[in-house]
Amino acid sequence: MAPPSSSAGPRVLGIDPGTRVVGYALVEARGRAAFRYLECGVIRPRAADLADRILEIAADMEEVIDAFEPAELAIERAFAGKNAQSALKLGQARGALVLAARRRGLSVFEYAPAAVKRAVAGHGRAPKRAMQERVAFLCGLASLPPADAADALALAICHVFGRGAA
């Protein structure tokens, strides 16, 4: 993938972190609260051991970063859920993803899930299906992206909308 053209703004990488599935999406800022869709997908590590999955996730994300050359990362803010063990595992994966991004020089921005839903869908309690439909519409996609990729797209779009001018 070629570096951004001079008329384009920065490329934004959105990441929906996880230990089993990581959603990622790339958009290019295009002026005030506008963007161009580039790519979205999921990373599904095959390793059984958590440490090996995290290593695989970080390596795969570094490949995505190297291929698309984003300048900024939008990632879901860490939150304490009902299950402390799940939150700790998610925190490890999230930390590895942030480390991979920072090692490649990306600026990191965090967003609460409700803030992302508000920015993209108009209210902070939008269900997953509504978010998939909204990001597909905003990006001009012919089909709905996988839920984790849609969440990553929503993060990237939220970041662009919040940037003001690119």
Q: Would residue 63 show up in a list of annotated catalytic residues for this protein?
A: no
Catalytic residue, chosen from 28, 72, 148, 151, is 148
Catalytic residue, chosen from 28, 72, 76, 151, is 76
Q: Would residue 148 show up in a list of annotated catalytic residues for this protein?
A: yes
SS (H, E, C) the chain: CCCCCCCCCCEEEEEECCCCCEEEEEEEECCCCCEEEEEEEEECCCCCCHHHHHHHHHHHHHHHHHHHCCCEEEEECCCCCCCHHHHHHHHHHHHHHHHHHHHCCCEEEEECHHHHHHHHHCCCCCCHHHHHHHHHHHHCCCCCCCHHHHHHHHHHHHHHHHHCCC
First to last CA, the chain: 21
Closest by Cα among 89, 21, 94 to 50: 89
Q: Would residue 49 show up in a list of annotated catalytic residues for this protein?
A: no
Question: Token pair of 126, please?
Answer: 């939008």
Catalytic residue, chosen from 16, 28, 72, 151, is 16
Catalytic residues: 16, 76, 148
